[in-house]
C-alpha cells in the first residue's frame, strides 16, 4: 500500500530525513517510535503533503501512485489521514462545516454525489458516540476551546467519519487520560480491516497494549535504525534509546 524508499527531506535548509525506508501493506499496523526531534512528525507531514518540506531524494508510492506529486487535499481524497500531534483551532469554522466539506470533497473526487444532509447528520451522530463526543460540541468552531484530550478525540472522530485507508496518527495518545486513551484506541481498532493500514507515532507502550502493532520501528537521526515486532516496543520502554545508538 505504502512504499517509502530512501526518503530525504529538509525543512528550512536543514536535513531532517536521511534515507528513510518504510513498507506498509494493507491490513498492517506499524508503530514508529524514536527520540524527540528524530523526524517522526516530519515523516508524517511529508506523507500528508504539508508545505514547507522539501523532498530532496527518494520516493513514496501509495498504491503504486507517486504520492509526492499530489497536493495535500488530493492525498486526503486518495485515503490518507493524518492525526495531528497538535490539532489546530479554527474559530468560526464549525466542526460540522469542516466534516461536511471534507466528506463531500472525497465524494466529488470519486465521482459520487454530495451526501444528503440527514444522512450526514445521522452518520456524524453515530460516529460521535464511538468517541463519546457530545454532538453539540460539533457546532462549535473546529477544536475551539476543546481541551487537549478532546482535540485528540476529535481527530479520531474525523478519522472515523472520513474512513481513510491509511491512518497516520502522530502522538494521538499523548496527553490523554486512561479513559480517553481507551476511547482513542477503540476508535483506531474500529477502523482496522484487511483493506486499511495504520501508522502510529508514539512514545509509549500504553497505546500499543490496546492497538497491537505488527511492526515496531525506531526512527533516529532521520532513518529507521531498528525494526522488529511488538516486543521491540517493550524493550524500548525498559531500556530507552541509548543502547540502540551505542549498538
Partner 1 sequence: MSLAAYTEGFEQFAAGLPAGQRSARREHYERFLKAGFPTPKIEEWHYTDLAPLGERRFSPAAEGGAVPTAALLAGADRLVYVNGKLDQAHSTAAARHGENPLLTDGDSVTALNAAFATGGLSLRLSRNERLPRPLQVLTVGVAGNAPAMVHQRHRIELGENAEATVLFQFLGQGAERLTSHVVEVELAPGARLTLYRVQDEHADATLLTRIDATLRRDSRLETVAVDCGAGLVRHDFNVALAEPGAEVALAGLYQPAPGGHVDNQTRIVHAAPHCRSREQFKGIIDAKAKAIFVGKVIVQPGAQKTDSEQRVANLLLSRKAEVNAKPELEIYADDVKCAHGATVGQLDDKALEYLRSRGIAADAARALLLRAFGAEVLDQLAIPALRDRLAVRMGLAVEDIFEETVGETAE
Ligand X SMILES: Nc1ncnc2c1ncn2[C@@H]1O[C@H](COP(=O)(O)OP(=O)(O)OP(=O)(O)O)[C@@H](O)[C@H]1O
Q: For binding to partner 1 (CB under 8 A), which residues are involved?
A: 48-51, 71-73, 76-77, 82, 84, 87-94, 96-98, 100-102, 104-106, 109, 117, 121, 124-125, 128, 134-139, 141-142, 158, 162
CB under 8 Å to 102, separation ≥6 — which residues? 76, 158, 162
The full DSSP string for 72-101 is HHHHHHHTEEEE-SSPPPEEEEEHHHHHHH
Q: Which does 142 bind (CB under 5 to 8 A by kind): ligand X, partner 1, Mg ion, none?
A: partner 1
CA distance 186 to 145: 24
By the rule CB under 6 A, 12 interacts with ligand X: yes
By the rule CB under 6 A, 229 interacts with ligand X: no
Cell of 131: 468517541
Q: Considering beta carbons, is residue 92 or 242 the nearer one to partner 1?
A: 92
Q: Considering beta carbons, is residue 15 or 116 the nearer one to ligand X?
A: 15
* Other residues' Cβ atoms within 10 Å of the Cβ of residue 79: 20
- Residue 173, classified by CB atoms within 10 Å of its CB into exposed (0-12), middle (13-18) or buried (19+), is buried
Stretch that binds ligand X, among 37-45, 154-162, 227-235, 239-247 (CB under 6 A): 37-45
Q: Which of 2, 29, 41, 218 binds Mg ion (CB under 5 A)?
A: 41
- Chain position carrying cell 511529508: 46
Q: Considering beta carbons, is residue 95 or 198 the nearer one to ligand X?
A: 198
Stretch that binds ligand X, among 35-43, 74-82, 91-99, 114-122 (CB under 6 A): 35-43
Q: Considering beta carbons, is residue 36 or 118 the nearer one to Mg ion?
A: 36
CA distance 201 to 159: 16
Q: In this structure, are residues 164 and 80 in contact, taking their beta carbons and an 8 Å threshold?
A: yes
CB of 197 to ligand X, least distance (A): 20
Q: In this structure, are residues 30 and 22 in contact, taking their beta carbons and an 8 Å threshold?
A: yes
Could you tell me the CA-to-CA distances from 174 to 45, 156, 161, 170, 200 in Å, in that order? 18, 13, 22, 9, 12
Q: Considering beta carbons, is residue 40 or 100 the nearer one to Mg ion?
A: 40
Q: In this structure, are residues 244 and 218 in contact, taking their beta carbons and an 8 Å threshold?
A: yes
Q: Which does 106 bind (CB under 5 to 8 A by kind): ligand X, partner 1, Mg ion, none?
A: partner 1
By the rule CB under 6 A, 95 interacts with ligand X: no
Phi, psi of 213 (to 5 degrees): -85, 155
CB of 143 to Mg ion, least distance (A): 18
Stretch that binds Mg ion, among 8-16, 39-47, 144-152, 156-164 (CB under 5 A): 39-47
Q: Which of 7, 28, 30, 41 binds ligand X (CB under 6 A)?
A: 41
- Residues binding ligand X (CB under 6 A): 11-12, 14, 16, 34, 36-42, 52, 85
Amino acid at each position: 500500500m505504502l512504499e517509502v524508499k530512501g526518503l530525504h527531506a529538509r525543512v528550512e535548509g536543514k536535513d531532517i530525513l536521511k534515507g528513510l525506508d518504510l513498507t506498509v501493506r494493507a491490513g498492517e499496523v506499524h508503530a514508529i517510535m524514536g527520540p524527540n526531534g528524530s523526524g517522526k512528525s516530519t515523516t508524517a507531514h511529508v506523507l500528508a503533503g504539508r508545505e514547507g518540506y522539501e523532498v530532496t531524494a527518494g520516493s513514496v508510492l501509495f498504491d503504486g501512485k507517486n504520492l509526492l506529486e499530489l497536493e495535500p487535499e488530493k492525498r486526503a481524497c486518495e485515503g490518507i489521514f493524518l492525526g495531528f500531534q497538535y490539532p489546530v483551532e479554527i474559530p468560526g469554522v464549525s466542526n460540522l462545516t469542516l466534516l461536511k466539506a471534507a466528506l463531500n470533497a472525497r465524494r466529488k473526487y470519486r465521482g459520487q454525489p454530495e451526501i444528503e444532509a440527514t444522512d450526514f447528520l445521522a452518520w456524524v451522530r453515530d460516529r460521535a458516540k464511538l468517541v463519546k463526543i457530545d454532538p453539540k460540541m460539533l457546532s462549535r468552531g473546529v477544536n475551539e476551546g476543546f481541551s487537549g484530550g478532546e482535540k485528540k478525540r476529535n481527530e479520531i472522530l474525523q478519522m472515523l467519519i472520513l474512513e481513510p485507508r491509511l491512518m497516520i496518527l502522530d502522538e494521538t495518545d499523548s496527553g490523554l487520560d486512561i479513559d480517553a486513551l481507551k476511547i482513542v484506541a477503540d476508535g483506531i481498532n474500529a477502523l482496522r480491516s484487511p483493506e486499511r493500514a495504520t501508522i502510529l507515532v508514539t512514545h509509549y507502550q500504553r497505546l500499543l497494549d490496546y492497538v497491537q502493532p505488527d511492526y515496531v520501528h525506531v526512527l533516529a537521526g532521520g532513518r529507521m535504525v531498528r525494526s522488529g515486532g511488538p516486543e521491540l516496543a517493550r524493550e524500548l520502554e525498559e531500556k530507552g534509546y541509548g543502547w540502540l545508538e551505542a549498538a
